[in-house]
Structure 1
Amino acid sequence: MQIDDTDRRVLRQLMAEPGLAMADLAERAGVTQATCWRRIERLTESGVIKAQQAVIDWRALGYGVEVSLRFSLDKTDPRAFDDFIDAAREVPEVIGIETFLGRVDLRLNVIARDMAQYQEIYRRRILTLPHIADIEALMLIATIKDSDGVPL
């Protein structure tokens, strides 16, 4: 889908403050409310805007530990990926699942309130996931940039 400068202005403002009222969004984008509404509707219908959602800061809810776990799977079973992903989805503390091409097959992002809880999650829920050949853990120290925005 082709977008023009008006679409870009609307999208930039929407990414900057997704909770803006339509009137404020239109004013900041320099268009009328009707134009803003039509543009958002068109961008949503075409799939450019996938969803508007609340972003919850899990740290504010008391989760102080995030660990990125990289997995290589035993791929002798043709269902290895599907079985692993299905089981990983059932772990409530897993906040992200990504697949890769290369040495690492998957990455899980896991949160916990503290290291004791992480250790419990790791032993009881992560190590029991199917088809694991190798695991590498990376503990998050700081997030420098975290953006889903695109350069418009």
Structure 2
Amino acid sequence: MLDDTDRRILRYMQAEPGAAASVLAERAGVTATTLSRRLDRLQDAGVLKGVRSVIHWPALGYEVEVSLRVTLDKTQPRAFDDFIAGARKVPEVIEIQTFLGSVDARLSVIARDMAHYQALYREELLTLPHIADIEALMQVARVKRQEALPL
């Protein structure tokens, strides 16, 4: 599906996402028209989902990040749907993942400080439907986070 030129374009896009199209075309060794055509094709094929900004949460005052591992009461037929719908409404929940196994879901939650997290935990998170068990893992450090793919 992807040829060497596509991979080269994607590598340069990952390395410098804010680069102008003319710069990207030059680095990838293609014309601006070819770059535009290839980017359109990659978007149409679902390879490129879009361009986004990455916000450094601590710069906005969010100093605490917690990962919650949640086990749901699976005797309830709508446990997953109801839980996910409720979790989506909490603005501080920045990621929701579901799993097969002893843990059903994981929430990534940000808070300004521990007092904010504690209030959020008691007033919003513990009130989510169908929770059978919940375990909080406080993040101490992010050792590696890489969204770029090896192309």
- What TM-score do you get using the length of structure 2 for normalisation? 0.97
Fraction of identical pairs, as percent? 65
Match of 1:55 in 2: 54
Residues 104-137 of structure 1 show CA distances to partners (whole Å, capped at 9, x for unaligned) of 0000000001001000000000010010000111
- Higher mean alpha-carbon deviation, 96-105 vs 12-21, is at 12-21
Task: Report the number of matched residues.
Answer: 151
Q: Which 4+ stretches in 1 moved above 6 angstroms?
A: none
- What does residue range 70-81 of structure 1 map to in structure 2 within 5 Å? 70-81=69-80
Q: Which residue identity is paired with 1:64?
A: E
Q: Which residue identity is paired with 2:41?
A: R
- What does residue range 1-152 of structure 1 map to in structure 2 within 5 Å? 2-152=1-151
For the residues of structure 2 that align with 1:51 and 1:57, how far apart are their CA atoms? 19
- What TM-score do you get using the length of structure 1 for normalisation? 0.97
For the residues of structure 2 that align with 1:57 and 1:27, how far apart are their CA atoms? 30
Q: For structure 2, list consecutive stretches of 5 or more residues without a partner in the other structure.
A: none
Q: For structure 1, list consecutive stretches of 5 or more residues without a partner in the other structure.
A: none
SS in 1 for 2:14: helix
Q: Which residue identity is paired with 2:50?
A: A
For the residues of structure 1 that align with 2:58 and 2:28, how far apart are their CA atoms? 32
For the residues of structure 1 that align with 2:56 and 2:112, how far apart are their CA atoms? 13
Deviation at 1:58, TM superposition (A): 1.0
For the residues of structure 2 that align with 1:147 and 1:39, how far apart are their CA atoms? 25
SS in 2 for 1:137: strand
Residues 63-118 of structure 1 show CA distances to partners (whole Å, capped at 9, x for unaligned) of 00000000000011110000000000010100000001111000000000100100
RMSD of aligned Cα (Å): 0.8
